[in-house]
């Protein structure tokens, strides 16, 4: 091994779940809650794997663990909302990161396609699910954005190093 290899060996960490999660936590993200309605049951999940994908057509993506308790319901949905949380909605993020969170006391606004938008968000995207790709232990949801709502006066909730900022 040359000197560069020896140096790299010293400073690089092993790729295991703990180190992998820790390194990814160094990437600052926003926080979203992805909501679906199945019959009259409402589901929401805190998600920070959200990202933009395409401008034309307008596509976004996020991923869900295939081990999630409600994954089957998300997989059979046609429409969903991606609710981008504002600075004051840390409690909403914590709430929707629990298993089977109660949705009765959430301030929802009706969307156009039997969907629900969370009120007070910095932005809400109403989406049609365009594709689902299984990769590793997650499923990537590719979504076409069909309706948009945003508020220029709010500040975003961000997440870094496993903490809200």
Q: How far is the CB of 67 from ligand FMN (least distance, A)?
A: 7
Which residue, 25 or 114, is less far from ligand FMN as judged by CB? 25
The pairs formed by 54-62 with CB atoms below 8 angstroms and a separation of 24 or more are 57/144, 58/144, 58/145, 59/130, 59/142, 59/143, 59/144, 59/145, 60/125, 60/127, 60/142, 60/143, 60/145, 61/140, 61/141, 61/142, 61/143, 62/32, 62/34, 62/140, 62/141, 62/143
Q: How far is the CB of 20 from ligand FMN (least distance, A)?
A: 15
Nearer to ligand FMN, 63 or 115 (CB): 63
**Min separation Cβ 64 and ligand FMN, Å:** 4
Residues that bind ligand FMN (CB under 6 A): 31, 45-49, 62-65, 68-70, 93, 97, 99, 159
Q: How do the residues of the chain divide into helix, strand and coil, expressed in percent and rounded to 5?
A: 20, 45, 35
Which C-beta is closer to ligand FMN: that of 47 or that of 106? 47
Please report how close the Cβ of residue 165 comes to ligand FMN at its closest, in angstroms.
Answer: 11
User: What's 14's DSSP letter?
Assistant: P
Query: Integer distance in angstroms from the first to the last C-alpha of the chain?
Result: 42
CB of 16 to ligand FMN, least distance (A): 20
Residue 10 three-state SS: helix
- Which lies closer to ligand FMN via its Cβ, residue 7 or residue 20? 20
* Of residues 43 and 79, the one with the C-beta less far from ligand FMN: 43
């Amino acid at each position: 091994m040359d000197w560069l290899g020896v140096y790299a060996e010293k400073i690089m960490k092993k790729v295991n779940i703990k180190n992998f999660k820790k390194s990814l936590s160094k990437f600052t993200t926003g926080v979203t809650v992805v909501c679906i309605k199945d019959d009259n049951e409402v589901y929401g999940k805190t998600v920070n794997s959200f990202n933009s994908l395409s401008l034309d057509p307008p596509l976004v993506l996020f991923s869900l663990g295939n081990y999630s308790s409600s994954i089957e319901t998300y997989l059979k949905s046609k429409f969903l909302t991606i609710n981008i949380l504002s600075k004051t909605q840390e409690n909403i993020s914590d709430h929707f990161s629990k298993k089977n969170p109660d949705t009765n006391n959430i301030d929802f606004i009706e969307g156009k396609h039997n969907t629900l938008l969370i009120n007070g968000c910095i932005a809400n995207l109403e989406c049609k699910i365009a594709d689902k790709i299984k990769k590793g232990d997650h499923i990537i949801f590719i979504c076409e954005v069909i309706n948009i709502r945003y508020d220029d006066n709010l500040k975003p909730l961000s997440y870094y190093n496993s903490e809200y900022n």
